[in-house]
Amino acid sequence: MNPIEKAIYEAKKGVEKKHGGPFGCVIVKNNKIIASAHNTVLKKKDSTNHAEINVIKKACKKLKNFNLSSCELYTTTYPCPMCLGAILWSRIKKVYYLTNSNDIKKIGFDDAKFYDFIKGKNKNLLNIEKINSIENKNFSFLLKNYKEKKY
């Protein structure tokens, strides 16, 4: 089974088990699948359990490293903003996908509003406020010490 076929298989498995939406994902290193996963949002009752997040966790555990820069990711749908963040933080350099936001919107998954929020549109989606207080100074001290490796 090639990587994208395995991602489709994972998506189908997740739907059949009623684990979550129809999304599957695999990570490949040196042309070998090292991890596969599907969406488990419904099963785990956790909105962060997208296929990409799940597969990144599995790959990191298997490789005993957060840095997946030597890996590629294959996914059934273009990653949402949360998953894109996880992919970027894990240093994956290449992503392959089958469908996009317009395709999944037709079945009830609309992440376009999240992309709009990131672009500075649709600001009523979430109220984010910076706290200006003495705690800023305390936290800045922690950041400074971390940078200087005092922990």
Query: CB neighbours of 95 closer than 8 A, spacing ≥ 6?
Result: 72, 73, 74, 75, 79, 87
Q: In what order do the strands lie in the sheet with 94-99?
A: 32-38, 24-29, 71-77, 94-99
Let me know: does 51 contact 98? Beta carbons within 8 Å: no
Q: Which of 52, 72, 129, 135 is catalytic?
A: 52
Decide if 52 is catalytic: yes
* CB atoms inside a 10 Å sphere around CB 147: 8
Distance of CA 102 to the CA centre of its chain: 19
d(CA 129, CA 151): 29
Let me know: does 35 contact 53? Beta carbons within 8 Å: no
Annotated catalytic residues are 52
